[in-house]
Structure 1
Amino acid sequence: MPKSFVPLESNPEIFSSLSHRLGLGESLAFHDVFSIDDPDLLAFVPRPVSALILVFPVSETYEEYRKTDDATRPTDYYTSVAGTPAQDSLWYRQTIRNACGFYAILHALANGVHDLQSDSYIESLIKRTEHATVDDRTHILENDTELDKLYASLASKGSTQAPDASDEVNLHFVCFTRARGSGHFVELDGRRTGPIDLGELDKNSDMLSDKVLDHVRSFMQRETKDPSFSILALAPSFD
């Protein structure tokens, strides 16, 4: 039976607490993004933003888009470079059920963040996996009891009652950040066939730049039946 996690609530306090426990430095934290079109609301988000996590409904429209878009790439286009010098982004295939929130955090910390605590769990995980194959990374995460304990300590917290790990959840989490190597703007989703390179991003731009927000808008424009979107930004902490 596949390994399952209790789904994370889309809550900046929970995402920040789990990230700090994994090894993110206290200088960064997650924040709600209440609008991507209202300049006054965007001004509440501290800058620069290192990563965005988009939470959206898994609909038939999205699934059709995902499968069609993935079909444009060779199935081994990332696995053939994973762990080699040609690897640009550190990407993990999602095999743990209901763990897309964790994978979004992992992709953000492993790619777009430089403030990681020395000798932390996340620093150790990156060292263990950055030169590994995708299959080996999968095996490491599926069998990591330390991760299970770190995750379980926070997964059930939140303002609403947490679902069971075996429940069907129709919301998905995707990370947008910079690639470790080129600094390109990338979409990182463990359900895809690898990282999606969305091109160059000006060195002075962050994850609330127009190019990034236009890509986020494309997700919203595809979905006409269920507007259940939310966004978390990884940015300087208020503390």
Structure 2
Amino acid sequence: MAESTGSKKRWLPLEANPDVMNQFLWGLGVPANEAECCDVYGLDEELLEMVPKPVLAVLFLYPLTSQSEEERIKQDSETKVQDPSSTVYYMKQTVGNACGTIGLLHAIGNITSQIKLTEGSFLDKFFKSTSSLDPMQVLIFAIEVSGQSHHSSHPMLIHSGTNLQRALFLENDREMEVAHSVAATAGDTEATDDVNTHFICFTCVDGQLYELDGRRAGPITHGASSPNSLLKDAARVIKKIIEKNPDSINFNVIAISQNV
């Protein structure tokens, strides 16, 4: 999966497998009767209708190519990212191959008002700790904690203090590293850190569809959305990404649905 920004630590990647992701989330504090991951078998309307509703977030796995990387860099230079003080929960990816975990954290971090996490669980403590970070705080603390010089080349170094502090909080959390490792080796395919795919998350916050990718400069908005239209709105954006790489079959879409 995609390289991280700013750290040499690498994890084994999570498999794009709802069963694996469910065990991961349920084990860390999402009750099984609150939410679960489900396969999205296609992006046509009749296939989207098969996905359990309501959908709280959408995860998308896509192949990394030279074209996709060039486009990402171009978009980051042209796109106005969301202000880090917004209500969108966002964090940077600083650990290699952690994009699956980052995607799940982006998903759960933006729906904590819609589901009830187990009190005292890892995720309950993680979001309570990281959501309280001051969005206006400078990065001096984060840089010192990570042992980097003041000449490090983090993207958005001045503007994304909270995002990077959340990432460093995760990077140094042993419990999460162990949980990720267990989940990464529980899939149907042999775990290897040599992969060329990447997870991103789509979520609806305050009536807007957001793309959350820990390698980007920040959250990216894709226009108006709603809890009822989130899946279809995300599918519209995902289709455009797939159209740019029609020869690849390494795409996977997973919805996180609320159990009602």
- Would you say same fold, with TM above 0.5? yes
1:117 match: 118
Q: Aligned pair in 2 of structure 1 residues 43, 201: CA closer, same or farther (>3 Å)?
A: closer
Q: Is the 8 A contact 1:112 1:178 kept in 2?
A: no
Once the two structures are TM-superposed, the CA of residue 35 in structure 1 deviates from its matched residue by: 0.8
Aligned counterpart in structure 2 of residue 191 of structure 1, from 210, 215, 233: 215
Distance 1:174 1:112 in 2: 16
Q: Is the 8 A contact 2:91 2:164 kept in 1?
A: no
Amino acid at match of 1:171: T
1:93 match: 92
Aligned counterpart in structure 2 of residue 207 of structure 1, from 214, 230, 234: 230
1:59 match: 65
State whether structure 2 residue 135 is matched by structure 1 residue 129. no
Runs (4+) of structure 1 moved beyond 4 Å?
Answer: none
Aligned counterpart in structure 1 of residue 36 of structure 2, from 24, 29, 32: 29
- Equivalent residue of 1:103, what SS? helix
Once the two structures are TM-superposed, the CA of residue 183 in structure 1 deviates from its matched residue by: 3.9
Distance 2:120 2:63 in 1: 36
Once the two structures are TM-superposed, the CA of residue 143 in structure 1 deviates from its matched residue by: 0.8
Aligned counterpart in structure 1 of residue 78 of structure 2, from 69, 72, 78: 72
Q: Aligned pair in 2 of structure 1 residues 131, 199: CA closer, same or farther (>3 Å)?
A: farther
1:172 match: 198
How far does the alpha carbon of each residue in 1:80-137 deviate from its partner, in whole angstroms, 9 at most, with x for none? x53xxx3221111001101111011000000135212222211211111123222321
Aligned counterpart in structure 2 of residue 146 of structure 1, from 164, 175, 184: 175
Distance 1:93 1:190 in 2: 4
Q: Percent identity?
A: 31
| 56-65 or 127-136, which deviates more | 127-136
Distance 2:45 2:107 in 1: 25
- Equivalent residue of 1:202, what SS? coil
1:43 match: 49
- Equivalent residue of 1:35, what SS? coil
- Equivalent residue of 1:226, what SS? coil
CA RMSD of aligned residues (A): 1.9
Distance 1:138 1:31 in 2: 26
Q: Is the 8 A contact 2:110 2:203 kept in 1?
A: yes
Once the two structures are TM-superposed, the CA of residue 237 in structure 1 deviates from its matched residue by: 4.7
Aligned counterpart in structure 2 of residue 225 of structure 1, from 226, 234, 247: 247
Distance 2:121 2:51 in 1: 27
TM-score by length of 2: 0.80
Distance 1:127 1:38 in 2: 37
Distance 2:14 2:180 in 1: 9
Figure out how many residues of one structure are paired with residues of the other and give that number: 223
Distance 1:217 1:112 in 2: 24
Aligned counterpart in structure 1 of residue 188 of structure 2, from 147, 159, 164: 159
How far does the alpha carbon of each residue in 1:205-235 deviate from its partner, in whole angstroms, 9 at most, with x for none? 24222x3221111111111332321111111
Amino acid at match of 1:33: V
Q: Structure 2: which 5+ runs fail to align?
A: 1-6, 134-161
Amino acid at match of 1:121: F
Distance 2:127 2:68 in 1: 30
Q: Is the 8 A contact 2:209 2:225 kept in 1?
A: yes
Q: Is the 8 A contact 1:220 1:227 kept in 2?
A: no
- Equivalent residue of 1:10, what SS? coil
Q: Structure 1: which 5+ runs fail to align?
A: none
Amino acid at match of 1:220: I
